Amino acid sequence: MSSLKITTRDAATGPVLEIFGALDYDTAPRLRELLATLALRPGQCLVLDLGGVEFCDSSGITSLIAAHHHARAAQADVALAAVPARILRTLRIVGLDQIFVIQPGGDGLSPAEDGVG
């Protein structure tokens, strides 16, 4: 498995974290540490682009939940974008598709804004 790489960029709606590699027991703490340093303003949307995630275990899912808590504490939203099918299946099984907005792409746009949906 590959290591974790996270790139951060700003979009009109808020920060976008592009995540690549394995989001697992060994690497998930890096995402949680990055989230702790991320300043969000009320009304923003934190987008986690999972298009490059090759593997996600329960520790990775816990870090996604931490992102949700971090955003909600700042009165912001969080969305998952470009979620690979195998990870989306897991999110649906555990019911997390009910708490996360899931976007088709990683550009920080809502489905209506990017011409989808």
Query: What range defines the domain where residue 38 resides?
Result: 5-103
Domain contains 109: no
Domain contains 116: no
**What is the total count of domains within the chain?**
1
Using pLDDT thresholds of 50, 70 and 90, give the confidence band for residue 104: confident
Q: What is the pLDDT of residues 52-99, one digit of tens each?
A: 999 999 999 999 999 999 999 999 999 999 999 999 999 999 999 999
Asked if 7 and 34 touch (Cβ cutoff 8 Å), the reply is: no
Strands 45-56 and 14-23: parallel
Q: What contacts 74, CB < 8 A, 6 or more positions away? A: 39, 40, 41, 42, 44
**Would you say residue 10 has pLDDT above 70?**
yes
Domain contains 89: yes
Domain contains 36: yes
Strands 77-81 and 5-11: unpaired
Q: Write down the mean pLDDT value for the chain.
A: 89
Q: Give 104 or 94, the one with higher predicted confidence.
A: 94
SS3 call for 98: helix
